[in-house]
Amino acid sequence: MRGKWSVALAALAVMGSSVVARAEPGRYGGGFIEFLMTGDGHGPTRRPAVDGYGTLGERRPVAVMQPRARFAALPTGPAPEEGRIARAVDPRFARQVVAYDGPGRAGQIVIDTNAKYLYLIQSAGQAIRYGIGVGRPGFVWTGAKTISAKREWPDWTPPAEMLRRRPDLPRHMVGGPENPLGARAMYLGTSLYRIHGTNEPHTIGQNVSSGCIRMMNEDVIDLYERTPVGTRVEVI
């Protein structure tokens, strides 16, 4: 009896092995059922068919999008610089030689605060015209002065009156590109007023200062080289 059972068990083992052998990968559609029947959860994918359920097909590689490809459509250029936004100087205030028939004589400076121009008078009815920034309302002035001193990359010490209005200002600032007096300064008599450069060229053509005359750095350097100490300056 025991021998008959041994033969029967051996036969069942043979049948079971043949069933497993016939359970080819992909026969059960992949996934968890495939894993149970064959030990392989990666059967072939199903291609869409007209019945909407799909039929067995060959396995297709899964396309994995790399991080670089994911962001390929995003802009990669540098962000716009803040300094370029709405900060261009109006071309009307570019330095140029113009016809001139106003007051003064050759070698003198005339400043028209309304038009925002500074004229360095030349001979033969001409002048070099520069765009400027002038005093804001309440700080515009007129009159005649002379250039009493000149400085390259001047230091800046705000006067007491300005510090009372603006206590947040530094008490002293050494010359340099960040200094509000810019590249050059020409001091007008014994007053607190100056013709000077600026680190804010976009303010040229505006009423912005506390009475000083602002120029673009390249313009104030040009004027500085052309005008000696003692030059008359008339502000109208």
Based on the residue annotation, tell me whether 196 is a catalytic residue of this protein.
yes
Active-site residue, from 42, 172, 202, 212: 212
Q: Could you confirm whether 212 is annotated as catalytic?
A: yes
Backbone phi, psi, residue 201, to 5°: -60, -20
Residue with tokens 């000149």: 150
What is the spatial distance between Cα 173 and Cα 164, in angstroms, rounded to a whole number? 17
Instruction: Note whether 216 and 139 are within 8 A (CB).
Output: no
From 42, 172, 196, 202, active-site residue = 196
- Ordered strands of the 117-121 beta sheet: 96-99, 126-131, 117-121, 109-112, 232-235, 143-152, 184-188, 194-196, 213-214
- What is the rounded CA–CA span in Å between residue 98 and residue 40? 89
Which amino acids are annotated catalytic? Answer: 196, 212
